[in-house]
Structures are given as C-alpha cells and as structure tokens.
C-alpha cells in the first residue's frame, strides 16, 4: 500500500505515526548544520521557490487510497461530527440493517480507547481502531495502513468514523467518496455557520436524534437553511438512529452510492 511513503508494509500504527512525523531526522539536520558552519560575513542565504500545498503529503496518500477504493469498487464514507452526535450508534444501527446484504468494514478513529471498535465488532463486522493520541483527526497515511490490516472486500462499504471534532478533519482528505457530517438536534441549529468548514466539505448532512425534537427548542428549518447557506450542494437527511425513524432514506442513499461505485468506468 505504501508506495508513496516507502515505509514498508505491515508496520504497526504507532510506528507509522512516528515515521510520518520524521522527528528522528531533526538531529541529523542539526548536526549537519554545525559541521558545515560558514565563515562569518559570508552569507549563503538564497531564495527557494516551493509552491506546494501544505497538505500535499496527505493529499498524495489520499489519492493513493482513492485509487485503491476505485479499483475495488468500494464505497468509502468519512463520518465526521462533534463528539456525542451519535455517530457510533448510527453506525451500529446501519450495520445491523445491512450486514446480511452488503460487505461492511469500519475504521474507528478516537484519541484513546478501543471502545467504539468493540461496539462495532459486537455487530459481527470487522472493525479496526486507530488511536490518534494527541492528534485531532485521522490522516490518509494511517488510513492507508489500516487497509493493509483490514483487507476490505471488493464492492464493500467502508465506514471511517473520524475523531469527534468539527474542525480539523475537514482539511484532511482520506480518499473517501463523501464526507458525511452528523449533527444531533441536541447541539444547536447554528452549528453549520459556527463550524462552516466541515459543512462546506461534506456532501451529506444527517440530522440525528430527531426523536428528541419534541423536548427541545431546536429549529430544524433554520438549521437546514444555515447548512445550505454554507454549502448550497449539501444533501440533508433527518433521522433517529435510536427509533429507526428516517433510517430507510439513509440506507437507500447508501445503496445508491454503492451502486455508483460499482460501475466499471473505462
């Protein structure tokens, strides 16, 4: 998988993380500078044109992942939200409804613990937990290595449950077909304009926990208007993963998207 980084196959995730940060290189550069210190007054300063996207490295891994998914006709969804929006419950309820019909695998991203992966595995589906430690998002490199372990099947659905965070994951492409942003009605209808980057980057917004609406002052119309203000192309589904209300539309969306991935383009 890692033709891009050259760090070899089958490495553990903790190793990958160290590798991707290249901290072991620092000393080398430092010593190098000291050895080649120039005589005072003889400045060797020069300008170097770079013109490189700050996220170019992540984007290269993401392109590699996207190629891998494309070759296998997989549907890959990057699920993003703030903590506590009900991502994992939505996932387990989705898996329970689809697992006899579709091949499904899950990558779980959290700063700590394997609790979410355990919840997914309890449904009988393969799940791999990535702990990002201090990191606030999954990156394409770690996802690439997770694929080596997970070995998802052709024409399968891969859910990547990102770290609960409405900021950083918006900038890090993982190679997914779509970012799906989940917003629960307990959060306040102005989230789309408070965290516009994520809603701008997502193709689908799921308004979750609609069973709680009678107990809240949440203004769904206003929330949808804010989301469309930030992203005129965003599609919106309202559902309750707990009661199952609205789940049918989500499952139909999912199957339609998978069908699109299965088309073998020339």
Binding residues vs another protein (CB under 8 A): 20-22, 25-27, 29-30, 32-33, 36, 38, 43-58, 82-83, 134-137, 163-168, 170-171, 192-193, 195-197, 199-200, 226, 228-232
Instruction: Tell which residue, 87, 121, 90, 86, has the closest CA to residue 106.
Output: 121
- Determine the straight-line distance between the first and last CA of the chain, rounded to whole angstroms: 23
Pairing between β-strand 75-81 and β-strand 126-131 as defined by DSSP bridges = unpaired
Q: How far is the CB of 236 from another protein (least distance, A)?
A: 14
Nearer to another protein, 46 or 215 (CB): 46
Q: How far is the CB of 148 from another protein (least distance, A)?
A: 22
Where is 33: in which H helix or E strand?
Answer: helix 26-35
Q: Tell how far CA 218 is from the center of its chain.
A: 27
CA 90 – CA 264 distance, rounded (Å): 30
Q: How far is the CB of 1 from another protein (least distance, A)?
A: 19
248 contact partners, CB below 8 Å, separation of at least 6:
none
Nearer to another protein, 45 or 215 (CB): 45
Nearer to another protein, 56 or 263 (CB): 56
The total number of residues written for the chain in this structure? 266
Q: How far is the CB of 229 from another protein (least distance, A)?
A: 4
Nearer to another protein, 139 or 176 (CB): 139
- Taking a C-beta distance cutoff of 8 angstroms, is the pair 169, 253 a contact? no
Nearer to another protein, 132 or 156 (CB): 132
């Amino acid at each position: 998988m890692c033709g891009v980084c050259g760090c070899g196959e089958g490495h553990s995730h903790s190793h990958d993380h160290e590798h991707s940060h290249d901290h072991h290189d620092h000393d080398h550069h430092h010593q190098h500078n000291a050895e080649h210190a120039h005589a005072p007054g003889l400045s060797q300063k020069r300008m170097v044109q770079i013109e490189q996207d700050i996220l170019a490295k992540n984007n290269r891994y993401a392109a590699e992942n996207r190629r891998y998914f494309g070759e296998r006709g997989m549907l890959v969804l990057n699920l993003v939200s703030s903590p506590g929006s009900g991502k994992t419950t939505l996932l387990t309820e989705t898996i329970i409804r689809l697992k006899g019909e579709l091949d499904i695998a899950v990558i779980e991203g959290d700063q700590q613990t394997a609790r979410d992966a355990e919840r997914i595995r309890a449904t009988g589906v393969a799940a791999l937990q990535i702990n990002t430690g201090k990191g606030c998002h999954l990156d394409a490199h770690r996802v690439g290595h997770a694929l080596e372990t997970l070995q998802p099947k052709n024409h399968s659905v891969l859910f990547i449950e990102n770290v609960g965070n409405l900021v950083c994951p918006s900038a890090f492409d993982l190679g997914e077909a779509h970012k799906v942003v989940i917003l629960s009605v307990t959060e306040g209808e102005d989230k789309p304009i408070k965290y516009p980057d994520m809603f701008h980057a997502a193709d689908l917004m799921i308004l979750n926990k609609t069973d709680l609406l009678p107990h809240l002052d949440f203004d769904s119309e206003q929330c949808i208007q804010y989301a469309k203000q930030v992203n005129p192309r965003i599609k919106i589904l309202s559902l309750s993963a707990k009661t199952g209300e609205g789940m049918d539309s989500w499952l139909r969306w999912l199957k339609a998207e998978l069908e699109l991935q299965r088309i073998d383009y020339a």
